Structure 1
């Protein structure tokens, strides 16, 4: 579990390696990740867009930007939590992801919320930290 808090919004990410969707003989490894976004602000917020930076075990970087998450732009009431699950394939047996959400408050103002960096490791690969 990986966690960050920015502007009174907590983001918790739990990645899981999915062997059933992986094909190591074809250099394809797959992870799912569950995200929980909790709003500790006094007003509701809306998640408008996402930005991911995905780095594989060889240092190759892919950036992903888009509206909302999993096809929606959720409104998260004060004190509420929004959860979703998504996935990520890599061409190496390890890597990591980090990113941010662009949120909008009820007053119309936008602000960025950090998504914590999290590791994507297959169970049989030794972690290497530089």
Structure 2
């Protein structure tokens, strides 16, 4: 795993681990595949529900795209106090280096909507920065 990032907002912690998937990447076609595993930990006093996500994905060429939608991996999970939810997903870049950032919108038991920022994290083919 090539990258670890952690951010904490409103007692919700988001940690990210990334990996380069060489077996699925086709460098000659500028297709670089990355996976990321995110763990959302609820350290607040209330259960939260992850309602939606927003991603800004940027490659080393300066091309960017956004991804928005309900929940993550087809789910809108409830995360109880002192519990975590972990999922994995991926993206394809046209360069061997890029980054992602974004946020989740969540709702607390008391119906408060909160935005939890996802820290900027790097997607990098191993040894690309050496």
1:56 aligns with 2:64: no
User: CA-to-partner distance for each residue in 1:44-73, whole Å, 9 max, x for gaps?
Assistant: 000000000000001111011000000000
1:22 aligns with 2:25: yes
Partner of 1:10: 13
What is the TM-score normalised by the length of structure 2?
0.95
User: CA-to-partner distance for each residue in 1:80-116, whole Å, 9 max, x for gaps?
Assistant: 0000000010011110000000000011111100101
CA distance in 1, matches of 2:5, 2:108: 25
Moved >6 Å (runs of 4+): none
CA distance in 2, matches of 1:37, 1:126: 29
Alignment of 1:1-130 (within 5 A): 1-126=4-129
Aligned residues: 127
Please state how far the C-alpha of 1:125 moved relative to its aligned partner: 1.2
CA distance in 2, matches of 1:58, 1:27: 11
What is the TM-score normalised by the length of structure 1?
0.95
The Cα RMSD (Å) is 0.8
Unaligned runs of at least 5 residues, structure 2? none
Unaligned runs of at least 5 residues, structure 1? none
